[in-house]
Amino acid sequence: MRKFGRTTDQRRAFLKSLSANLILKGKIKTTEARAKEVRSLVERLISYGKKNDLASKRRLLAALPEAAAKKVYKEIAPNFSERHGGYTRITRLGQRMSDGAKMAFIEILK
């Protein structure tokens, strides 16, 4: 697990924010390391949404803001009913000019 120079609470909040933004917007630009870390979280959440039972909905609501959780189990998860994993795509973009960090787009597939 990547730590991103943050304490555990800060890291959880940071990843929660990144995953909520990815779910709500569909595609975000971030560093490659952040994209790789948020991919596993978002794919797990979409798998919960596919189950569509009360426990899974509660897990989504615990892990995401309400608007993002509702979007997962009402809009995103039904699109992947026949698919077993691989709900996101990471596209590498090269290095950021200011600090040389490797940049990437992460998007939820349609």
pLDDT in tens, 25-67: 999 999 999 999 999 999 999 999 999 899 999 999 999 999 9
Boundaries of domain holding 80 = 8-108
Give a yes or no: residue 3 inside a domain: no
For residue 96, being part of any structural domain is answered with yes
pLDDT computed for residue 1 by the predictor: 85
β-bridge mates for residue 27, sequence order: 107
Half-sphere exposure (Cβ direction) of 88: Cα atoms closer than 13 Å? 25
- Residue 66 maps to a domain: yes
**How many separate domains does the chain show?**
1
The predicted pLDDT at position 5 comes to: 95
What is the structure's pLDDT at 81? 92
> What is the token pair recorded at 5?
């120079």
The reply to whether 41 falls in a domain is: yes
> Is 24 contained in some domain?
yes
Distance CA 103, CA 10 (A): 22
Q: Which two tokens stand for residue 27?
A: 């595609």
